Amino acid sequence: MTQVSQRNILTGLPDETLFIKTLKHLIRLSEKEGDNLAILHLRINRIDEISRVNGRPTRDAMLRCLGKRLAAHDVKALAVGHLSQTHFGAVIPLDSLSDLFDVITPITNKLSRPVKMKELTIRPDIDVGISLSPLDGVTPETLLERASIALDGPKSHAGLHVFSHSAEKAALRRHTIEQHLETALRSSQLIKRYQPLVATDGSRIVGFEALARWQDEELGRVSPGEFVPVAEKNARLSKLLTEWSLNAVCRERPQWPFRPYDPPLRIAVNIPPGQFYEKGFVSYVLRTLDEHRLAPDRLTLELTEKSVLANVDKAIHTMREFRRHNITLALDDFGTGYSSLSHLKDLPMDTLKIDKSFIDDLTYDSRSANMIDGIIRIAHGLDLQVVAEGVEHEAQRKLLQEMGCDVVQGYLFSRPLLTKDALELLKRWPQAS
């Protein structure tokens, strides 16, 4: 009888069956010794996107590299496995549960380092779910399931997802969101609200950011922080959400009033990385604008720092195509992803948006203030406009004005508004007409 291999053909690592057998043995040993084990369930995100953009050989090379990194001696894993195409597993010994983050964080940092392949560099996007033995279970199946459940729960310290019963509830909610979202998008249950972008001196509104809102009969209010990540991890939902967003903005296209000598007032739309890198996306956006007779210079596409850096070369090429058609580009949530100062000079961006987490500390933390001041100076040196997100207090606005920040966005001026209310605000604004 031919023996069936229990190793992944791509990486040579144990498959799920062999990994579970090994984990069962390790659990028995740890029970005898009274030791703790951390079971890691690693999910490699955007694999389909990497395959579409760069080809299957590049995808496979990256997975092989990650497998080698995980199995390396310095990781000190008791067992590793390649559980499915996009999932790895590992068992890490812990002297104490209090050591969890100190032990696991260096491993995730190592796995997240850029992978260089010939002239191409890709930064892996990895989520790590963790369960603990014996705290969270004493069977391999339970521990792996709970590490997997943790992936869909909130992040803990250092960006890791640690299992808890609240995470189990969050995973159930996430599953329900995924089931309901497609219907909501196809039946226009979501609505667009518009938050104004205001010149830092308060003199005028220079644009609006379009934000999605969703009220579901069963789930209640579902925040973008819940449904957007769900959509981004599902290629079909990501495409539907992007198409809905663009069409909603264009369809609602009120004739936003502005003074004749002002530049066109722009509407900003957030674009998930999966769609930005999709073949034909530039053509789709231009076709949508044309169908709704909306001029390209009225649209800004917002991209996250993390998504741009996932594939810098491809991002630059696509950005240049959009700018050639007078569509502006903004780098959103700057400072929350990987450091990208070294890439800023190469990215054909128009606007840099400083994340709210920096603005929150602005008035009482000198280091945050110095950092924001430095970011503004660098951005202006690269001829980029700077937007500060999450401005809620007049003291923040004054400091940002002194630093030379161009535009502010936040509750100080307005919450996100329905279209008619946004238009009313624009009409009432001082010097708006």
Q: Which CATH number does the domain housing residue 195 bear? A: 3.20.20.450
Structural domain contains residue 51: yes
Beta bridge partner(s), residue 385: 351
Strands (E), 47-190: 79-84, 87-94, 115-117, 120-122, 126-133, 161-162
Instruction: Please check whether residues 136 and 231 belong to one and the same domain.
Output: no
Instruction: Please check whether residues 289 and 407 belong to one and the same domain.
Output: yes
Q: Does the pLDDT value for residue 28 go beyond 80?
A: yes
Amino acid at position 35, single letter: D
Domain holding 147, by residue range, is: 16-163
- What mean pLDDT is predicted for residues 2-8? 69
**254 confidence band (pLDDT: 50, 70, 90):** low
Structural domain contains residue 3: no
Structural domain contains residue 11: no
Instruction: Please check whether residues 154 and 225 belong to one and the same domain.
Output: no
- Measure the CA–CA gap between 425 and 420, rounded to whole angstroms: 9
Contacts 24+ apart (CB under 8 A), 52-57: 52/277, 52/278, 52/279, 53/277, 53/311, 53/314, 54/120, 54/122, 54/311, 54/314
**DSSP symbols for 296-329:** GGGEEEEEEHHHHHTTHHHHHHHHHHHHHTT-EE
Structural domain contains residue 1: no
Q: Does the pLDDT value for residue 336 go beyond 90?
A: no
**2 confidence band (pLDDT: 50, 70, 90):** very low
End-to-end CA distance of the chain: 84
Q: For residue 90, which of 75, 100, 103, 101 has the smallest C-alpha distance?
A: 75
- To the nearest whole percent, how much of the chain has pLDDT over 70? 91
The three-class DSSP label of residue 167 is: helix
Q: Does the pLDDT value for residue 154 go beyond 50?
A: yes
Is there a contact between 230 and 274 (Cβ–Cβ < 8 Å)?
Answer: no
Instruction: Please check whether residues 143 and 283 belong to one and the same domain.
Output: no
Is there a contact between 327 and 349 (Cβ–Cβ < 8 Å)?
Answer: no
pLDDT score recorded for residue 41: 95
- What mean pLDDT is predicted for residues 34-59? 88
The better pLDDT of the pair 277, 29 is held by 29
pLDDT score recorded for residue 171: 67
* pTM of the model as a whole: 0.69
Instruction: Please check whether residues 252 and 327 belong to one and the same domain.
Output: yes
Q: Does the pLDDT value for residue 195 go beyond 90?
A: yes
The better pLDDT of the pair 56, 274 is held by 56
CATH number, residue 42: 3.30.70.270
**123 confidence band (pLDDT: 50, 70, 90):** confident
Instruction: Please check whether residues 105 and 249 belong to one and the same domain.
Output: no
Neighbours of 387 (CB within 10 A): 29
Instruction: Please check whether residues 68 and 105 belong to one and the same domain.
Output: yes
Structural domain contains residue 353: yes
- Measure the CA–CA gap between 269 and 247, rounded to whole angstroms: 11
Q: Does the pLDDT value for residue 7 go beyond 50?
A: yes
- Measure the CA–CA gap between 161 and 164, rounded to whole angstroms: 9
Instruction: Please check whether residues 141 and 230 belong to one and the same domain.
Output: no
Is there a contact between 76 and 102 (Cβ–Cβ < 8 Å)?
Answer: no
Instruction: Please check whether residues 345 and 403 belong to one and the same domain.
Output: yes
Query: DSSP class of residue 45?
Result: T
The better pLDDT of the pair 430, 190 is held by 190
Query: DSSP class of residue 340?
Result: -
Q: For residue 23, which of 159, 161, 194, 141 has the smallest C-alpha distance?
A: 141
Structural domain contains residue 41: yes
- Lowest average pLDDT, out of 50-59, 228-237, 302-311, goes to 302-311
- Measure the CA–CA gap between 142 and 139, rounded to whole angstroms: 5
Instruction: Please check whether residues 92 and 214 belong to one and the same domain.
Output: no
pLDDT score recorded for residue 40: 95
Question: Given phi > 0 = left and psi -120 to 50 = alpha, else beta, which region is 184?
Answer: alpha
Neighbours of 343 (CB within 10 A): 17
- CB neighbours of 326 closer than 8 A, spacing ≥ 6? 295, 296, 297
Structural domain contains residue 123: yes
The three-class DSSP label of residue 61 is: helix
Instruction: Please check whether residues 323 and 373 belong to one and the same domain.
Output: yes
- What average pLDDT is seen over the chain? 87
- What mean pLDDT is predicted for residues 270-287? 89
pLDDT score recorded for residue 167: 57
Helix axes 235-251, 224-232, angle to 10 degrees: 120
In the chain, how many domains are there? 2
Q: Does the pLDDT value for residue 100 go beyond 70?
A: yes
Q: What is the CA radius of gyration of the chain?
A: 24
Amino acid at position 42, single letter: L
Domain end residue (candidates: 163, 194, 218): 163
- Measure the CA–CA gap between 264 and 151, rounded to whole angstroms: 43
Q: Does the pLDDT value for residue 255 go beyond 60?
A: no
Instruction: Please check whether residues 78 and 126 belong to one and the same domain.
Output: yes
Domain end residue (candidates: 142, 163, 184): 163
Structural domain contains residue 193: yes
Q: For residue 209, which of 245, 261, 238 has the smallest C-alpha distance?
A: 245
Q: What is the pLDDT of residues 345-398, one digit of tens each?
A: 888 999 999 989 889 988 888 888 999 999 999 999 999 999 999 999 999 999
- To the nearest whole percent, how much of the chain has pLDDT over 90? 51
- Assigned token pair, 41: 């369930």
pLDDT score recorded for residue 433: 35
Domain end residue (candidates: 143, 163, 183): 163
Handedness of CA 255, 258, 263, 265 (dihedral sign): negative
**200 confidence band (pLDDT: 50, 70, 90):** very high
